[in-house]
Chain A
């Protein structure tokens, strides 16, 4: 699976959109981009995934660049409960394994 690079930490004001970047320049054509988050002391929680089109669900939006070498997770109206470590993971379709990196620690500021 391709390697991902994320900033170690970010802050965002409550109520604003949180934009979390991820670089995956070595991604191959059959690899998906997944986002998980881990709120303190809890198990990781799935947020969203995509292959090449932008995706949106009730939690977030995922914007993948046309060359697929980077992506951005957008939390449209961040709340204090969104404070967590966010993991960007590249995973080949049909491959069961998830490889977690160090993620981005997002802190929502009141």
Chain B
């Protein structure tokens, strides 16, 4: 069984550029989460979706960040324009909604904004 798939695994970009991170959840899972991890702030939830609908985006830091889930097997997190302080590891996770089921995390995307 393939786990959560994220791409790219590493991204280096320059300040001001648009960055798009991609996530494919585990097949059959209907909840998807985007997290960001930094040394200063730890692991933070940015946004999550149930059945492709954004439920809680209170963790999205500002308007430069946006996330979409056009179908059950794909989600994107976009940063436009990127800034050096966006440098972090971004994780995607998926689960079956509504119970006590566990979240399964992807390997993460390490983003460096120069």
Contact = CB atoms under 8 A, between A and B. Distances in A.
Interface residues of B, number: 25
Given A32-B100, A44-B43, A46-B102, A96 B108 contact: no
B42 A101 contact: yes
Contact of B107 (A42, A46, A98, A101): A42
A58 to B, nearest CB: 14
Contacts of A99: 45
A102 B91 CA distance: 17
Contact of A98 (B4, B50, B103, B108): B103
A100 B48 CA distance: 15
B102 A43 contact: no
B56 interface: yes
A8 interface: no
Interface residues of A, number: 21
Contacts of A93: 99-100
A46 B93 CA distance: 11
Given A43-B93, A44-B91, A101-B42, A94 B98 contact: yes
Contacts of A43: 4, 91, 93, 105-108
A81 interface: no
Interface of B: 4, 31, 33, 42-45, 48, 50, 55-56, 91, 93, 95, 97-100, 102-108
